[in-house]
Amino acid sequence: MTHGKPRRSDATRAAILAAARERFAAEGYERATIRAIAADAGIDPTMVMRYYGNKERLFAAAADVDLRLPDLTAGPPDQVGTRLARHFLARWEHDEPMAALLRAGATNEAAAQRMHGILATQLVPVVATVCPDPSQAPTRAALVASQVLGAALCRYVLRLSPFTEMPAEDVTAWLGPTLQRYLTALDPMV
């Protein structure tokens, strides 16, 4: 898949990308400066420009998120909510691109568009495999996203105190039934 010969600067490219992910995740799009990213990577700011063109494209490379959603059809249908909740929580614990995208999405239009794309191409198809009427998949996926993003916002971005202190299993236990209902309930009031 990775065609082209390995370049001598691959290590530098990777260092830049790693530093960019960290900074974008910790400070958002505007406050994460190219200079700071370059300093973290131990190189000159001009290298960032040479390899990634500009700040927008660097962010695009840093916020390349793959949700790695599991196959929800394999397993008990009445536990898809909990399994999905557990997956997202585990995914978020140590994946900086997701935090970077969430933090930046609040102020950066391009980041918001990218989240839109991830929802449509990654979450909606999986939701369609477990919900009663596949035509409702976009709506149900949006509802799932609202709860998952809200929890991530409280836990990893805002760091609201009761939420950061809750064990991951407890959060999973609370969110699971919610997602289950968003995914499979025939009617909102169930």
Measured CA to CA, the distance from residue 71 to residue 117 in angstroms comes to 20
Q: Tell me which stretch binds DNA (CB under 7 A): 7-15, 69-77, 81-89, 108-116.
A: 7-15
Q: Which residues from 117-176 bind a copy of itself, rule CB under 8 A?
A: 119, 138-139, 141-143, 145-151, 153-155, 157-163, 166, 170, 173-174, 176
181: partner contacted, choices DNA, a copy of itself, none (Cβ within 5-8 A by kind) = a copy of itself
The token pair that represents 33 in the structure block: 């400066």
Locate all alpha helices (DSSP H) within the chain, ordered by sequence.
10-31, 34-41, 45-52, 55-62, 80-93, 96-105, 109-118, 124-128, 137-152, 161-165, 168-184
Check binding of 60 to DNA (CB under 7 A). Answer: no
The answer to whether 173 touches 181, Cβ cutoff 8 Å, is: no
The token pair that represents 30 in the structure block: 């505007």
- State in angstroms the smallest separation of the CB of 142 from a copy of itself: 4
User: Helix or strand or coil: residue 45?
Assistant: helix
- State in angstroms the smallest separation of the CB of 167 from a copy of itself: 11
Nearer to a copy of itself, 6 or 76 (CB): 76
User: Helix or strand or coil: residue 166?
Assistant: coil
Residues of the shown chain interacting with a copy of itself in the complex, contacts defined by CB under 8 A = 27-31, 102-103, 105-107, 112, 115-116, 119, 138-139, 141-143, 145-151, 153-155, 157-163, 166, 170, 173-174, 176-178, 181-182, 188-190
